[in-house]
Structures are given as C-alpha cells and as structure tokens.
C-alpha cells in the first residue's frame, strides 16, 4: 500500500489523547496513526477489526464516516489549525472490508478565514478507492 517513493513523516499524538479515531489512551478506539506526505496530505494505514462491522465481513457505515472524518481533521491539524467538523458528506462506493489493510488519505483543498474545505478517501489493498468524503471544518480558538 505504501508507495516505495513516498516520504512520510509521522504525526505526533499526545499520550493522553482519548480521541476515538487516533487516541492511544482510548481502550475501545481505532488507534489510527497518521503520516504527513510531501504534498501536505495525511495518510494512515489501518486494518480495522471485525468489532466495528455492520454486515458480516464489512465495516459499519458510521465507522467508514469516522475514518474519513478523522483523515480530514488530521489534514486540517497538519496545517497547524484546530477545527471541528461542520459538514461531512460520504460516498460509499464499495463495501469496506473488516480485517483487511486499507489506506486512508485526507487533504485540505481550500481555506477561507475560519472555514476549511477538505477531502478524504479510503483505498483497499489493491489501491481501489472504496469510499470518499468531503467536509467543511470550522477553526476554533481556545
């Protein structure tokens, strides 16, 4: 799944992060690890257990949406911003298998003030796009 010519840099996560998608401190979370690509996209390589199935052998649609949302959120964070999902659109192109390796990619496609438009996709082990998403994230100030 990883291209030999890719230069991916690991993204750091806080040790006490309880995020369902990427938090290592969440005992029931997905524990996704993300990497920053040279083109500013984020990439995660994952195998999601059958614990998160809908139909036997395939991930629940809500988990697929979570994977896409997480990739888009990390793409915004890679820009040094903290933002929350305002809108999420998912295209379920093919069933996403559980227990099989997948690649998740996310990127920011446009920004305007506090608004950041994003895209993400999930690819199977053969590089076929099996789900896509678009999102709008709103930057928050803490």
Residues with catalytic function: 69
Phi–psi pair at 55, nearest 5 degrees: -70, 150
Taken in order 51, 125, 3, 82, the sign of the CA dihedral is negative
């Amino acid at each position: 799944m990883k291209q030999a010519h890719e230069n991916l840099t690991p993204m750091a996560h806080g040790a006490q992060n309880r995020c369902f998608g990427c938090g290592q401190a969440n005992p029931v979370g997905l524990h996704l690890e993300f990497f920053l690509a040279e083109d500013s996209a984020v990439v995660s390589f994952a195998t999601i257990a059958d614990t998160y199935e809908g139909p036997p052998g395939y991930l629940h649609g809500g988990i697929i949406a979570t994977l896409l949302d997480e990739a888009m959120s990390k793409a915004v964070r890679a820009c040094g911003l903290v933002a929350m999902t305002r809108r999420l659109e998912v295209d379920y192109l093919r069933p996403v298998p559980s227990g099989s390796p997948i690649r998740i990619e996310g990127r920011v496609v446009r920004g305007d003030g506090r608004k950041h438009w994003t895209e993400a996709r999930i690819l199977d082990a053969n590089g076929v796009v099996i789900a896509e998403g678009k999102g709008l994230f709103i930057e928050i100030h803490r």
